[in-house]
Amino acid sequence: MMIINVLLAKKAVGNRQTFEFITSAEQLAIEGETPWMDSVIQIEGELINNGRVLAVRGTISTTAKYQCSCCLEEFTVAMEIPFGDNYQQANDEIIDSEANLTYYTGDEIDLTDLVRESLILAEPIKCVCSENCRGLCPHCGINLNTAQCDCQGKIIDPRLAVLQQLLK
Ligand SMILES: [Zn+2]
Ligand SMILES: [Zn+2]
């Protein structure tokens, strides 16, 4: 659980407090295979009473394991994901219904949902191990980042083969 007690922060505009948590995908109840399955997830941030709301701003730091969509190798990357939300006490009058607000009750804000959502949203759709990944040879399937093959020289494009026939 990542709960911040906001009793002091609520008392005066300008009050701020920092927070720090260590969690994991398991503790966040993210089920199934995830890139962060075996990683430590570090949460760090600050809560500020800006008069209208309690503004939470922070960073999620973790490492994620992905499979390169080009060469199919597994690789690990460090991730820094900014997150934040504005919290308003549930029984306050709604100041601005357009604003991005989350309501809390009592003196505690639970960051679990926010952190879980921020992590899931930060997951890239397509990932490659490096910008220069050379991928797999389309003919023999060898990983061209770590090995070489001579397929390029051996295989003749079928369209070129037809051309060669015509030239005879
Ligand atoms: Zn790759
Ligand atoms: Zn090859």
Q: What is the pLDDT along the chain (168 residues), one digit of tens a residue?
A: 799 999 999 999 999 999 999 999 989 988 878 888 889 999 999 999 999 899 999 999 999 999 999 999 999 999 999 999 999 988 766 666 656 789 998 999 999 999 999 999 988 777 899 999 999 999 999 999 999 998 876 656 666 667 667 766
- Please answer whether residues 112 and 24 qualify as being in contact, where contact means their C-beta atoms are separated by less than 8 angstroms: no
CA of 95 to the centre of ligand 1 (A): 49
Task: Tally the domains of the chain.
Answer: 2
Q: Are residues 28 and 52 in the same domain?
A: yes
CA of 24 to the centre of ligand 1 (A): 27
How much is the pLDDT for 125? 75
Q: Are residues 27 and 101 in the same domain?
A: yes
Q: Are residues 17 and 60 in the same domain?
A: yes
CA of 140 to the centre of ligand 2 (A): 4
Q: Are residues 75 and 141 in the same domain?
A: no
Q: Are residues 32 and 90 in the same domain?
A: yes
- Supply the pTM of this predicted model: 0.78
- CA-only gyration radius of the chain, Å: 26
Q: Are residues 81 and 111 in the same domain?
A: yes
Q: Are residues 49 and 8 in the same domain?
A: yes
CA of 23 to the centre of ligand 1 (A): 29
Q: Are residues 124 and 138 in the same domain?
A: no
CA of 20 to the centre of ligand 1 (A): 34
How much is the pLDDT for 44? 98
Q: Are residues 13 and 85 in the same domain?
A: yes
Q: Are residues 51 and 88 in the same domain?
A: yes
How much is the pLDDT for 144? 95
How much is the pLDDT for 140? 93
Range of the domain at 144: 134-168
DSSP string, 30-46: --SS-TTTT--EEEEEE
CA of 124 to the centre of ligand 1 (A): 15
